Structure 1
Amino acid sequence: MRRLPKLKTVIIAAVAYIVAFIFLFPYLVMLLTSLRPGKTLREATYLPSSYEWSNLANFFTGGLLDNLLVTLKVAGGSTILVLLVALPAAYYSARHKFKGRTAFLILVLITQMFQPTAMVVGIYREFFELGLVDSIWALILVNGGFNLAFAVWILNAYFSSIPRELEEAAFIDGNGRFGALFRVTLPLAMPGVITALIFTFIAAWNEFVVALTLTTSKENQPLTVALNSFIGQYEVDWQNLFAGSVIATIPVIILFALIERKVVSGLTAGSIK
Structure 2
Amino acid sequence: MTTPLNQASLGLAKEYSLTQAEYHALVRGFKIAMKFNPPSLVLQNSNLMAFTEDRMAFIQADYHSSEKDPLVKPLVTMAFVPDKAVIKEAKAIRGEGNVRISFKAEHCHIHGDHTDASFPAIPVPDGAYFAMPPISWFGAKLSEYDSKDFGKYIGKIGKGKEAVHLAVYGDQLEQVWVNGASGPYTFTAGMAERLASRIPSLVLKSQVAFRFIGHKQTLQIGTLNDQYVLRATTPIDMGVDLVVTEVLDVVSAS
More helix, by proportion: 1
Q: Shorter chain as normaliser: what TM range?
A: under 0.3
TM-score by length of 1: 0.24
Q: Which has the higher contact order (CA 8 A, sep 6+)?
A: 1
TM-score by length of 2: 0.25
The structure whose Rg is larger is 1
More strand, by proportion: 2
